[in-house]
Chain A
C-alpha cells in the first residue's frame, strides 16, 4: 500500500460517488451496508468497497446536497440510516453519467485496434 494507495484513492473516490448515486437511483433508499454490498455485487465481486472511504463519501455527498438521509427500519427489523437521492443528486448523476460515457468512449477509441491511425 503506502503512497500508491493514496494515488488510487482519489480516482476511486470520484467513481465511488458515481456508483453510490447510480446505486441509489436503481435501488431507491438504501443503507450504507446495502450500498456497499450492491456495488460489490454489481461489479461481480471484482471490487471491494473500503468502508473507511464509503462513509466519508456518503457524508460528502450529503453535505453537497446530492443525497439525504434518515433513520429507518431494515427488512429484518434493524434500525439503519437510509440514504436517498435528492433532485440535485439526480441531476448530478445524469451529468456524471454523460461525462463518464464520454470519457470511456474517448478512451475506447484510443485503446481500440488502430486501423485509423495509419
Chain B
C-alpha cells in the first residue's frame, strides 16, 4: 500500500506549488553554501570553491527538473493545465461552444433517456431477494413455440412433488375480476388465484397474518383470502383487526387470513388486489391454465432443472395417456416477463444511437473547420516548442471538455426525457411498473458516452490541426490559406456519413408513417361511430344458471332500448378490439383434426342486433336472428378467414362444426353447430395481426355470465351513461358496469402503440434533420469564408455570381449526394437484416409495421427528396454570401 500513500502525498503536493518550489530552492541554496564552506576549509579559493560545488551539484536546473518530476503528479498537472487552457479557448468562442454542446446534449440526452428506460425495464433485477434464481417454468411445443394458458393442474402437481432442483415451486392463474362488496357499494377488483408457495418462491414475507394452509388449497376448502396491500390500506384503512374477519366477493363470504406485502407486483399482469387459493377458483375454465414459477436450488443450473422437469413431464403425460409433443422449458423469470417489449426497446435504442452518431460526426466537422482557422495559432505554438503530441493532447482536451459539458446537459435532458417516455409509453408497451431513475449505472453510461463522443469527434480534428507546416502557415497567415485536399476530402466524407445516417432515420420514419396511415385506412370489418360499449360480469348465486344470465341481459337491453334518445342496442360476449375475446377449439364434422387439439378459434356469442349495430358485413347466408333460441337447432356464422382455414376455401354453408374437448382440461365439449352464414373479417386486436378465425354463435344458445353491451344513441355521452347506469342499477345494484368506452376509443387505443412508435421515430428524424442542416450550413459557410478573397478576385475579373455560387456549393452537394446513395444502400441492407428479427413485418399480432414493405419505394424517395431539399437549402443560404462578395473588400483582406 506504499504506492497508495505516496500517491496521496503526491496528489497533495499539486497544491501550494509555489511555496514548495521556494522551499526546494532554499534547500539547494543551503546545500550549495555548506559545500562551498567545506571547499573553502580545504583551502580552495572562493571562486574555485563555488565552481566545484556547482559542478558537483550537477546543474541546478537539471536537479530541479528531476525533483519536480518526482514531486506531485506531472501527468495530472499537464492534464489540468490542458483543461484550463481548453476552457479559456471555448469561453472565448461561446457561439461555437453552444452549438457543439447543444448538439451533443441532444444526442447524449436521448441516449440517457432510452438507457434509463432499458435499465428499469429490462435489466433491473425483479424486486425479490436473489431474484436471478427465479425461473419461469412452462411447456413449449417441439418447435419451441410457447404455449400460453395450457398448463394443467396435474403437471404442476407432478413437478412440485417430484422435482429435486427447485427450492420452491409456485403456480398462479391469470388474474380475473370479481365484485367486492365493501361499505355498501360494490366494486370490481382484480383477484389472483395462487398457491401459497408463490409467496415462498418469491421469498416475500406477508405484511400480516399467514399464507394459505395445505387444506385450504383443496377444492371445497375454506373460503380464505389474502388482501393486497394497497386495497387493505385504501379501502380498509389499514385495519389490523381485519384478519380473521369475513369479506364478501361475488356474494360469497371469504375469511381474511393475511395481508400481502407492499409492492408485490407480477409486473406485466394487472396488479392483484386480492389473492385466493388456487384450487377453489370457480371461474377457472377453458383458457385459464396455470403459470408456474420456481426458485432454483443452490448450485442448480436452469438447464439441469429443465432436464429433470422434462423427465417428470414425459412420465406424467404417459401415465395420463396423453399423446403430446410438449417439452418442459425453464427460463429466467425477469427475461420472460420483459421479453415481449425488449425488441421494440432495442430497436428504438438503436435509432437513438444513430442520432448520437450524427451529432458526433456533425461536431467533428465543426471542430475540423475550427481547427483549420486556428492553424496559425497551432503553428505559432509549434515554433515555440510544442510537440505534436502536445498539440494533439490540447485538441483532445477541448473535445473532452465539450463532451463533458454535453454529457452534463444531456443528463438533464435525459432525466426530463425518460419522464416524457413514461408519459407516452403506455402500460401495453412497457411491461414493468418500475420507475426510471438516475442511478450509478446511468451516470456511468453517460460518462462512457461522453468519452466515446469526445474520441469520435476529436480524433480527426486533432490529427489534422497538429500536422502543421510551420513555415508555410506563418508566412501566409491563416486567411491566405486554403485547406488542403485531404482536409476537404475528410470534411466531405463527414457530410456524406452524416447524410447517410440521417437518411436511415428518415426512411424509418417514412416506414412508420405510411404504416400508420395504412393502419388507419385498414378495413376493420365493423364500425359504430359514437356508439358506447360497456361490460357487465354477473356474479353470485342469483346468476348461476344459464337461464338467469339470459334473462338478466335480455331485460337490461330491453330497458336501455326504451331510454329516450337511444337508437339501437346490441349485445354479445365481447366486441372486437376490446380484448374481450373467448377462445375455443373446433373441428369440421366428418373430417380428421387439422391440429392435435382442433383448430383454435375466437368465439363471439351474440344477440340478433349485433351485426347491424356494429355494421358488420355478411358475405353469405343469414345473420343470427330472433328465431335462434335456446330450443332451436344450434347454428353458427364463420368469418371469411375461417372458411379458408377450416374448409380450405370450399363452401362451408350447411356444414357442421364440432367443439373439441381438451382431454387435459376438465371441460366438456359443447354440442355441434351448423353453419348458416359467412361474415367479413374483423380486426381482433388491431391492424397489425394475422387475421383470426372467428365464429359467431347465438347468445341464447351459448350464454355466459360476462357480456358487452353496445349502445348507439344521439345523446351526449354523460347523459346517456347516467341513464344506462340508473337502468342497470334498478335491475340489480350489485352488478357494476366496467370498461366503459366508445367504439372510437377502442379504435384509438388499438392504434396507440403505433402512434407512439411514429411520434418517437418522427422526433428522432426531426432532430437528425436539424443536426444535418446545421452541419452542412457550417461546412459551406466556413468554405465560403475561407475563399472570400478568391471569390472577390473572380468577381472582379468578371465571373458571374451564378458561377461563384455553383463553385461554392458544388462540393457539399456532391458529398451529400454520395451520402444519399450510400444511405439508400445501407438502409435497405439494414432493413433486410433487421426486418424479421425486429418484427418489422406483421407477426401474429405483435409486429411494428403494417402493410408496408421494408423496401417501400415511396418512403425511400420521400426521404431522399426531403434530405436533398435540406441539403440544397442549408448550403444555399451561406453560399449566397459568396455571390455578394464585394471585390474591393475581399481584396483588402490581404
Q: Do A32 and B31 touch across chains, with their CB atoms under 8 A apart?
A: yes
* Residue in A33, A50, A60, A62 whose beta carbon sits within 8 Å of that of B34 in the complex: A33
User: In whole Å, how far is B258's beta carbon from the nearest beta carbon of chain A?
Assistant: 61
Q: Do A52 and B62 touch across chains, with their CB atoms under 8 A apart?
A: yes
Q: Do A55 and B34 touch across chains, with their CB atoms under 8 A apart?
A: no
Q: Which residues of A contact B35 (CB under 8 A)?
A: 33
> B24 — nearest CB in chain A belongs to which residue?
A55
User: In whole Å, how far is A10's beta carbon from the nearest beta carbon of chain B?
Assistant: 14
Interface residues of A in 50-84 (CB under 8 A from B): 50-53, 55-56, 59-60, 62-65, 74, 76, 78-81
* Residue in B10, B26, B59, B67 whose beta carbon sits within 8 Å of that of A56 in the complex: B67
Task: Give Cα A89 to B67, complex, Å.
Answer: 21
Decide yes or no whether B88 CB sits under 8 A from chain A.
Answer: no
Q: Which residues of A contact B10 (CB under 8 A)?
A: 63
> A75 — nearest CB in chain B belongs to which residue?
B34
Q: Do B30 and A76 touch across chains, with their CB atoms under 8 A apart?
A: no
Task: Give Cα A64 to B56, complex, Å.
Answer: 27
Q: Which residues of B contact A74 (CB under 8 A)?
A: 30, 34
Q: Which residues of A contact B24 (CB under 8 A)?
A: 55
Interface residues of A in 66-118 (CB under 8 A from B): 74, 76, 78-81
Q: Do B27 and A81 touch across chains, with their CB atoms under 8 A apart?
A: yes
* Residue in B5, B34, B56 whose beta carbon sits within 8 Å of that of A63 in the complex: B5
> A76 — nearest CB in chain B belongs to which residue?
B37
> A61 — nearest CB in chain B belongs to which residue?
B6
With A55-B66, A59-B71, A64-B5 known to touch, is A78 a contact of B34 (CB < 8 Å)?
A: yes
Q: Do B69 and A64 touch across chains, with their CB atoms under 8 A apart?
A: no
Task: Give Cα A65 to B70, complex, Å.
Answer: 15
User: In whole Å, how far is B220's beta carbon from the nearest beta carbon of chain A?
Assistant: 79
Q: Which residues of A contact B62 (CB under 8 A)?
A: 52
Task: Give Cα A37 to B38, complex, Å.
Answer: 10
Q: A-facing mask of B44-63, CB < 8 A → 1, else 0?
A: 00000000000011110011
Q: Do A59 and B5 touch across chains, with their CB atoms under 8 A apart?
A: no
Task: Give Cα A79 to B37, complex, Å.
Answer: 14
Decide yes or no whether B9 CB sits under 8 A from chain A.
Answer: yes
Q: Which residues of B contact A50 (CB under 8 A)?
A: 58
User: In whole Å, how far is A23's beta carbon from the nearest beta carbon of chain B?
Assistant: 15
Task: Give Cα A55 to B26, complex, Å.
Answer: 13
Q: Do B70 and A56 touch across chains, with their CB atoms under 8 A apart?
A: yes
> A81 — nearest CB in chain B belongs to which residue?
B27
Q: Which residues of A contact B59 (CB under 8 A)?
A: 52
> B31 — nearest CB in chain A belongs to which residue?
A33
- Looking at chain A's contact residues, the main secondary structure is helix
Q: Name which of B23, B24, B58, B69 has the most chain A CB atoms within 10 A of its CB.
A: B58
Decide yes or no whether B485 CB sits under 8 A from chain A.
Answer: no
User: In whole Å, how far is A74's beta carbon from the nearest beta carbon of chain B?
Assistant: 7
Decide yes or no whether A22 CB sits under 8 A from chain B.
Answer: no
> B6 — nearest CB in chain A belongs to which residue?
A63
Decide yes or no whether A31 CB sits under 8 A from chain B.
Answer: yes
Q: Do A31 and B31 touch across chains, with their CB atoms under 8 A apart?
A: yes
Q: Name which of A56, A63, A78 has the most chain B CB atoms within 10 A of its CB.
A: A63
Q: Do B30 and A51 touch across chains, with their CB atoms under 8 A apart?
A: no
> B10 — nearest CB in chain A belongs to which residue?
A63
> A66 — nearest CB in chain B belongs to which residue?
B2
Q: Do A80 and B6 touch across chains, with their CB atoms under 8 A apart?
A: no
Q: Which residues of B contact A56 (CB under 8 A)?
A: 66-67, 69-70
Q: Which residues of A contact B34 (CB under 8 A)?
A: 31, 33-34, 74, 78, 80
Q: Do B66 and A52 touch across chains, with their CB atoms under 8 A apart?
A: yes
* Residue in A34, A51, A64, A78 whose beta carbon sits within 8 Å of that of B63 in the complex: A51
* Residue in A60, A78, A80 whose beta carbon sits within 8 Å of that of B70 in the complex: A60
Task: Give Cα A33 to B24, complex, Å.
Answer: 13
Q: Do B67 and A64 touch across chains, with their CB atoms under 8 A apart?
A: no
Q: Which residues of A contact B69 (CB under 8 A)?
A: 56
Q: Do A32 and B70 touch across chains, with their CB atoms under 8 A apart?
A: no
Decide yes or no whether B33 CB sits under 8 A from chain A.
Answer: yes
User: In whole Å, how far is A17's beta carbon from the nearest beta carbon of chain B?
Assistant: 12
Interface residues of B in 9-43 (CB under 8 A from A): 9-10, 23-24, 26-28, 30-31, 33-35, 37-38
User: In whole Å, how far is B22's beta carbon from the nearest beta carbon of chain A?
Assistant: 12
With A31-B30, A79-B26 known to touch, is A64 a contact of B66 (CB < 8 Å)?
A: no
With A52-B58, A56-B70, A59-B70 known to touch, is A65 a contact of B31 (CB < 8 Å)?
A: no
Task: Give Cα A23 to B57, complex, Å.
Answer: 20
Q: Which residues of B contact A32 (CB under 8 A)?
A: 27, 31
Task: Give Cα A31 to B38, complex, Å.
Answer: 14
Q: Do B30 and A53 touch across chains, with their CB atoms under 8 A apart?
A: no
Task: Give Cα A53 to B62, complex, Å.
Answer: 10
* Residue in A37, A55, A65, A80 whose beta carbon sits within 8 Å of that of B5 in the complex: A65
Q: Name which of A55, A74, A78 has the most chain B CB atoms within 10 A of its CB.
A: A55
Q: Which residues of A contact B58 (CB under 8 A)?
A: 50-52
Q: Which residues of B contact A63 (CB under 8 A)?
A: 5-6, 9-10, 70
Q: Do B30 and A80 touch across chains, with their CB atoms under 8 A apart?
A: yes
Q: Do A81 and B6 touch across chains, with their CB atoms under 8 A apart?
A: no
Q: Which residues of A contact B38 (CB under 8 A)?
A: 37
> B63 — nearest CB in chain A belongs to which residue?
A52
Task: Give Cα A56 to B63, complex, Å.
Answer: 8
Q: Which residues of A contact B26 (CB under 8 A)?
A: 79, 81
Q: A-facing mask of B133-176, CB < 8 A → 1, else 0?
A: 00000000000000000000000000000000000000000000
> B28 — nearest CB in chain A belongs to which residue?
A55
Q: Which residues of A contact B9 (CB under 8 A)?
A: 62-63, 65
> B70 — nearest CB in chain A belongs to which residue?
A56
Q: Which residues of A contact B27 (CB under 8 A)?
A: 32, 55, 80-81
Q: Which residues of B contact A62 (CB under 8 A)?
A: 9
Task: Give Cα A52 to B69, complex, Å.
Answer: 12
Q: Which residues of B contact A76 (CB under 8 A)?
A: 37
> B57 — nearest CB in chain A belongs to which residue?
A51
Q: Which residues of A contact B23 (CB under 8 A)?
A: 81
Task: Give Cα A63 to B58, complex, Å.
Answer: 24
Q: Do A51 and B6 touch across chains, with their CB atoms under 8 A apart?
A: no
Q: Name which of A50, A51, A65, A78 has the most chain B CB atoms within 10 A of its CB.
A: A51
Task: Give Cα A81 to B57, complex, Å.
Answer: 17
Q: Do A78 and B57 touch across chains, with their CB atoms under 8 A apart?
A: no
User: In whole Å, how far is B612's beta carbon from the nearest beta carbon of chain A?
Assistant: 93
User: In whole Å, how far is A34's beta carbon from the nearest beta carbon of chain B?
Assistant: 8
Task: Give Cα A52 to B9, complex, Å.
Answer: 21
Q: Name which of A32, A33, A53, A78 has the most chain B CB atoms within 10 A of its CB.
A: A33
Task: Give Cα A62 to B9, complex, Å.
Answer: 9
User: In whole Å, how far is B372's beta carbon from the nearest beta carbon of chain A?
Assistant: 41
Interface residues of A in 1-54 (CB under 8 A from B): 31-34, 37, 50-53
Task: Give Cα A64 to B7, complex, Å.
Answer: 9
Q: Which residues of A contact B2 (CB under 8 A)?
A: 64-65
Task: Give Cα A86 to B81, complex, Å.
Answer: 35
> B27 — nearest CB in chain A belongs to which residue?
A81
Could you list 22 A-B pairs, sorted by A, with CB under 8 Å? A33-B30, A33-B31, A51-B31, A52-B57, A52-B59, A52-B62, A52-B66, A55-B24, A55-B28, A55-B63, A55-B66, A56-B67, A62-B9, A63-B9, A63-B10, A64-B5, A65-B2, A65-B5, A65-B9, A74-B34, A78-B33, A79-B30
- The list of the 7 closest CB pairs from A to B, nearest first, reads A63-B6, A56-B70, A52-B58, A52-B63, A63-B9, A33-B31, A33-B34
Known: A33-B35, A56-B69. 18 other contacts (CB 8 A): A32-B31, A51-B31, A51-B63, A55-B67, A56-B66, A56-B70, A62-B9, A63-B5, A63-B6, A63-B10, A65-B2, A65-B5, A76-B37, A78-B33, A79-B26, A80-B27, A81-B26, A81-B27
CB within 8 Å of A: which residues of B? 2, 5-6, 9-10, 23-24, 26-28, 30-31, 33-35, 37-38, 56-59, 62-63, 66-67, 69-71
